[in-house]
Amino acid sequence: MATAYDNATRTSDLEHEGIVPVIAVENVYKSFASHKVLNGINLRVNRGETLAVLGRSGTGKSVLLRLIIRLETLDSGSVCIHGQDIAGLPLDHMGKVRMKMGFLFQHAALYDSLTVAENIAFPLEHHRRDISRSERMDRVRQLLAEVGMEGDLNKMPSDISGGMQKRVGLARALALEPEILLLDEPTAGLDPISSGEIDNLILKLQRERKMASVVVTHDLHSARTIANHLALLDQGKVVIEGKFEKLQQSDIEFVKEFLK
């Protein structure tokens, strides 16, 4: 297919530039029982880049994100983080890789028995035992200020809106200062104003922190705003990958239909 993502060209470009991609997804296959979800996916994300993964519901976008952080195991292929294949890593080693990653779940997945502040402090308590309680609380306040929720420290997740939960989820994902940010539908179910705020927040964080990010979304406007390049999935395959303009100029019927 002429317009399909040409992985070989891209890999050789990167080799010429001497860049090892932060995330490299190579020929990944994943099925659930007899249902094939991912059917030979190839994607690469470098430092400071944001890749938006688009596609219809059920095309395996969230599964792809879960494979990158190994919440699911792949059937074949490889997922490399900083050049290291994570498929066979023991759990403790995988923990070290995960510490470099922040994950925002589609429904935020906040711990419902903990307050907003405790949710954000949770990864710090487990991985930064060297810092004092007051330092930890300072860090929590700083993260909440970054996502514009400094006044909601002691609220429970059930007492805040969906958009606010996403902000808290984002603050928690950033707690360990990750090099990789994985965002699963960050603007899904939000009103346009809240979506815009989340998009601006993600853009601001990327500018400041230069993370490699993968954003799974249905929201074309959001994808266009926050991503350097986009990948469109259909039936478990990448149909097209590139800048938004490349997608706009594509002759592929599915791409045209999707952009409508």
13 contact partners, CB below 8 Å, separation of at least 6: none
What is the token pair recorded at 33? Answer: 């029982």
Q: Which of 56, 127, 155, 224 binds another protein (CB under 8 A)?
A: 127
122 binds another protein (CB under 8 A): yes
- Pairwise CA distance, residues 76 & 89, whole Å: 15
The piece of 42-50, 87-95, 187-195, 234-242 that touches another protein (CB under 8 A) is 87-95
Q: Which of 25, 37, 110, 117 binds another protein (CB under 8 A)?
A: 110
Pairing label, strands 101-104, 180-184: parallel
111 binds another protein (CB under 8 A): yes
95 binds another protein (CB under 8 A): yes
172 binds another protein (CB under 8 A): yes
We find the least distance from the C-beta atom of residue 2 to another protein, in angstroms, to be 38
Q: Which of 67, 74, 105, 195 binds another protein (CB under 8 A)?
A: 105
- Pairwise CA distance, residues 118 & 154, whole Å: 8
x-or-dash string of contact with another protein, 57-86, rule CB under 8 A? ---------x--x-x---------------
Q: Which of 98, 136, 167, 237 binds another protein (CB under 8 A)?
A: 98
121 binds another protein (CB under 8 A): no
**# residues near another protein by CB under 8 A:** 25
What is the token pair recorded at 203? Answer: 């853009």
186 binds another protein (CB under 8 A): no
237 binds another protein (CB under 8 A): no
Geometric angle at alpha carbon 181, from 256 and 5, rounded to 5°: 35
**Would you say 233 and 247 are in contact if contact means Cβ atoms under 8 Å apart?**
no
101 binds another protein (CB under 8 A): yes
The piece of 96-104, 140-148, 208-216, 233-241 that touches another protein (CB under 8 A) is 96-104
Where are any strands of DSSP class E within the chain?
23-32, 35-45, 50-55, 76-81, 84-85, 101-104, 180-184, 212-216, 229-234, 237-242
153 binds another protein (CB under 8 A): no
**Would you say 109 and 169 are in contact if contact means Cβ atoms under 8 Å apart?**
yes
**Residue 121 backbone zone (phi > 0: left; psi -120 to 50: alpha; other: beta):** alpha
| Residue length of the chain | 260
We find the least distance from the C-beta atom of residue 186 to another protein, in angstroms, to be 15
We find the least distance from the C-beta atom of residue 29 to another protein, in angstroms, to be 22
**Would you say 226 and 49 are in contact if contact means Cβ atoms under 8 Å apart?**
no
Please tell me what DSSP assigns to residue 21. P
Note the residues at the interface with another protein (CB under 8 A): 66, 69, 71, 91-92, 94-96, 98-99, 101, 103, 105-107, 109-112, 122-123, 126-127, 172, 176
